[in-house]
């Protein structure tokens, strides 16, 4: 009987490993999506086709704050993961809640920035450079928003999944996704904001 349970467990792990690899492949295709958007942005902004008007609208302090919010949320997610492995479900939920608040602040600040840009006349339909800016940064923001929804669902699901291998698997998916978004943000703030402000 004991043997059978171990075999079942091994079986789950093998399946889960394949599933996580599948999710990793999804992340890789998402990289290509962002790569295309970065290529578009670079072509339309830095090749002398149109004088970019983005520079005068960039507020680097706000971007720095956004960067740290996302970096901190990444770290709190890792802490949630550590507590999940120790089977401390409540503490996992608390860290996930922190991650949600940090990520939520990021999206809030970004949306406010977009509204302000539009009010100042830098609208998405102004020219190609503006369109590529809003598409690139907006796609990232949309991913973060989806991640936030996912975190909320996870917080609600965790007590039901307690101790099961499904909890580990789903948290691993979400962790990959959340880390990936922070990595994309490194390039967004470097290429869009820092280069744009120079």
Partner 1 sequence: MTDHSLHQPDYGTGQKKLGIYLLGFVACSILTLLAFWVVMADTLTHGQIFAVIYGSACLQFVIQLVCFLRLNTLTPQGRTNVMSFVFTLVILVTIIAGSLWIMRNMNYNMMH
Q: How far apart are CA 194 and CA 198, in angstroms?
A: 6
Q: Which CB sits closer to partner 1, 29 or 160?
A: 29
Q: Which CB sits closer to partner 1, 109 or 118?
A: 109
Residue recorded with tokens 């091994």: 10
CB 165 to partner 1: min, Å? 7
Please report, in angstroms and rounded to a whole number, the separation of the first and last CA atoms in the chain. Answer: 68
Burial label, 195 (beta-carbon count in 10 A; 0-12, 13-18, 19+)? middle
Q: Which CB sits closer to partner 1, 17 or 115?
A: 17
Q: Which CB sits closer to partner 1, 85 or 108?
A: 85
CB 3 to partner 1: min, Å? 14
The answer to whether the CB of 187 falls within 8 A of the CB of 37 is no
Could you tell me which of 1, 42, 70, 186 has the C-alpha nearest to residue 128? 42
CB 51 to partner 1: min, Å? 14
CB 47 to partner 1: min, Å? 5
For 63-68, the CB contacts below 8 A with 24+ separation are 63/189, 63/193, 65/109, 66/106, 66/109, 66/110, 66/185, 66/189, 67/185, 67/189
Which spans of this chain sit near partner 1 (rule: CB under 8 A)? 9, 13, 16-17, 20-21, 24-25, 28, 31-32, 35-36, 38-40, 42-43, 47-49, 60, 63-64, 67-68, 71-72, 74-75, 78-79, 81-82, 85-87, 163, 165, 168, 172, 176, 179-180, 182-183, 186-187, 189-191, 194-195, 197-198
CB 63 to partner 1: min, Å? 8
Q: Which CB sits closer to partner 1, 123 or 175?
A: 175
Token pair recorded at residue 29: 């295709």
Q: Which CB sits closer to partner 1, 28 or 115?
A: 28
The answer to whether the CB of 53 falls within 8 A of the CB of 129 is yes
CB 100 to partner 1: min, Å? 18
């Amino acid at each position: 009987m004991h043997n059978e349970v171990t075999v079942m467990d091994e079986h789950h792990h093998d399946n889960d490993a394949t599933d996580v690899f599948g999710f990793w492949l999804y992340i890789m295709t998402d990289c290509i999506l962002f790569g295309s958007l970065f290529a578009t942005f670079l072509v339309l902004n830095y090749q002398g086709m149109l004088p970019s008007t983005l520079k005068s609208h960039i507020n680097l302090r706000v971007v720095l704050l956004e960067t740290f919010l996302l970096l901190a949320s990444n770290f709190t997610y890792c802490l949630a993961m550590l507590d999940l492995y120790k089977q401390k479900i409540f503490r996992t939920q608390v860290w996930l809640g922190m991650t949600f608040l940090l990520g939520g602040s990021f999206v809030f600040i970004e949306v406010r920035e977009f509204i302000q840009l539009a009010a100042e006349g830098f609208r998405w339909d102004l020219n190609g450079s503006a369109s590529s800016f809003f598409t690139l940064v907006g796609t990232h923001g949309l991913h973060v928003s989806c991640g936030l929804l996912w975190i909320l669902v996870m917080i609600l699901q965790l007590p039901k999944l307690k101790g099961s291998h499904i909890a580990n698997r789903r948290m691993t998916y979400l962790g990959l996704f959340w880390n990936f978004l922070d990595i994309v943000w490194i390039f967004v703030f470097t290429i869009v904001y820092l280069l744009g402000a120079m």
